[in-house]
Structure 1
């Protein structure tokens, strides 16, 4: 298992984003299966929320809400994420790959960040989500 987290700084041509990745010593099928469980979805979206197909909305118990923009099994899930109905959405892109046999890299990139979103908070949030997903793989 290895962790890597990067926060990209904004300049004139890019917007700030948070990128967190983790290599899980399990096959892609196992990691995907965990993501498709209630616990896997809640690790990403929040308690009470479930992942769905492209175009489906989701709501977590804490008021976070969004909808699935892209859903490609075992490759990518992209979703809009916002703190509540009255805030502007930011974009979360989860990518899966298999760098070696029986290993899966999971990368989360959170972009379109509003100025009031703390990149350090988001980095910790996504690191915790990946840690929960990894622990559920074993």
Structure 2
């Protein structure tokens, strides 16, 4: 039996979803604007395939695809990793607002998968809290 999170093609992978009570265009604008440091780090993010980025803490990668108001797919390699992974952020309008999905593949091990699950759950919670504060202004 295959362990949870282990795939034949993408190795170890994980996914986290969070629905926030905000319209999709507002969530998109937040994620690629003032909310960028919450999920990617302090950096500038390009919008074209192969645009590269490096955060203040040394995480680096490149854009694989960028579809406004829908999806960003990029490589993601923290400074202390010896490999990169693929991170995809998707947005979907739902009745209650917008569902943000984080999917990461090509993780090195079950332990790294668990660490990234915790990380992206925390990121999703911080994004939801920040968007909630914006609504009360």
Q: TM-score by structure 2 length?
A: 0.82
RMSD (Å) for aligned C-alpha atoms: 2.3
What are the equivalent positions in structure 2 for 1:36-55 lying under 5 Å apart?
Answer: 36-38=32-34, 40-46=35-41, 48-54=42-48, 55=50
For 2:84, which of 89, 109, 113 is the aligned residue?
89
Alignment gaps of 5+ in structure 2:
133-137
Residue in structure 1 matched with residue 73 of structure 2 by the alignment: 78
Q: Moved runs in structure 1, 4+ residues, more than 3 A?
A: 11-14
What's the CA shift for 1:97?
A: 0.4
What's the CA shift for 1:83?
A: 1.6
Residue in structure 2 matched with residue 29 of structure 1 by the alignment: 25
Q: Structure 1 pair 120/108, CA: closer, same or farther in 2 (3 Å)?
A: same
Alignment gaps of 5+ in structure 1:
1-6
Q: TM-score by structure 1 length?
A: 0.82
Residue in structure 2 matched with residue 16 of structure 1 by the alignment: 12
* Count of matched residue pairs: 129
Q: Structure 1 pair 8/78, CA: closer, same or farther in 2 (3 Å)?
A: farther
Tell me the distance in 2 between the aligned counterparts of 1:61 and 1:19. Answer: 25
